[in-house]
Amino acid sequence: MSRSRRTALPRRRVRHAALAGTALLAAALTACSGGSGDGADGGGKAADAKNKAPMAVSVNLTDGQVKSGEPVKVTIADGKLAQVKVTDGKGGELAGQIAADGKSWTSGRNAAPNTDYKVEAQSTDSQSAGTQFKTSAADKVNKVSINVAKGSTVGVAMPVSLVFDNPVKNKAEVEKQLKVTTSNNTEGSWGWFKDYSGNDRVDWRPKDYWKSGTDVKVEMNLNGVDSGPGGGLFARDYTTEFRIGKDRRMEVSLDTKKMSITEDGQVVKTVPVSAGTPGGEKASWSGKMVLMSKEGTIFMDSQTVGLGDSYAKMVDYSMRLTWSGMYVHAAPWNDDKFGKTNASSGCVGMSNANAKAVYEQAQPGDPLEVVGSGSKGKADLGNGYGEWNLQWDQWKAKSALTGATQAG
């Protein structure tokens, strides 16, 4: 009696094929037969399901990758798409929309550079297909510096300020991805200009000073957005959240040589000061400024701000007003001039005791306005936070989106 050997057939391997700038995705198929009828009808349905062509979809690949900085497009060969889900390696979803004819799906945002994505698609007849792809690396990556740290509390004049590492030519496209949401629907607008560093910068300021207690959330959905020629792609999103603190404002009069401090509209302190020497580069800037930061004890060198060898010393209770070096600080060496003469090298100086008291109560974002005669004019818009010197219509006109007001 002879025996027959049973040989296992080798499994067939399925490979992805990249053809003419697109790739056919491997399809995980589900054939569903329904009904419990007998005879030819039931057999016909089963045969139809068995013989139904596998679902096939393609993605817009170039040289085996989706080009970063462009939308992802998923296309079905036959039938109609019912659902498409595209996720990155971190679980983030690239949202999109199916076309009216059901033949394709396009992401609402561009693909991020150098990112792995997974595609899961389902047709209207319950077949499914899925694959993975990788996007191309960016030739250049742009980055953003944000002025307000997450979780911080700031004064009523603090704008949201974004400074970019590389040039931003596609300002309107970038601005579309920036969103400010507030707890009380504060009206405000973005405005573009050059930072003191020479880099491109966009700030969001309210129409009027913030209301104390406002909660603010800023979303910068920039991952995959193209800055334009010479700027490169953004490779991540950014967010920050902060709260508006007490309504505390300062006004320095060059005429009376005094600084008045108000809280919620009531004067709480008046301090004798000595501001910049009138008539030259040592004069103070005038107009509306914002307390940028509290820097404490720092070394000030006049040569770093173009004033020769006027001074080089450690200075206490320093609070920055401009990038060019105007501060509010303690100046005990001018003790005999407070309230009498403006004789500093441009800063607003006061006694140690008064500077300590002002410093302890101050918060970054507090407005400070310099009024009176003897100044050297207003600082440039990017030399600190100078947007409050512009009328509302002037500020809105600096938006790349045709000056459109944005509220949230």
Active site residue 32: no
Catalytic residue among 27, 112, 291, 347: 347
Structure tokens at 275: 């501001």
Cβ contact 401:179 at 8 Å: no
Backbone angles phi, psi at 44, to 5 degrees: -70, -40
- 200's tokens: 């491109």
Question: What's the one-letter identity of residue 343?
Answer: A
Which residue among the candidates 201, 288, 329, 396 is catalytic per the annotation? Answer: 329
Which among 208, 203, 158, 206 has a CA at the least distance from the CA of 182? 206
**Secondary structure in 3-state letters for the chain:** CCCCCCCCCCCCCCCCEEECCEEECCCCCCCCCCCCCCHHHHHHHHHHHHHCCCCCEEECCECCEECCCCEEEEEECCCCEEEEEEEECCCCECCEEECCCCCEEEEEEECCCCCEEEEEEEECCCCEEEEEEEECCCCCEECEEECCCCCEEECCCCCEEEEECCCCCCHHHHHHCEEEEECCCCEEEEEEEECCCCCEEEEEEECCCCCCCCEEEEEECCCCCECCCCCCEECCCEEEEEEECCCEEEEEECCCCEEEEEECCEEEEEEECECECCCCCCCCCEEEEECCEEEEEEEEEHHHHCCCCCCEEEEEEEEECCCCCCEEEECHHHHHHCCCCCCECCCEEECHHHHHHHHHHCCCCCEEEEECCCCCCECCCCCCCCHHHCCHHHHHCCCCCCCCCEEC
Known active-site residue 16? no
Catalytic (active-site) positions: 329, 347
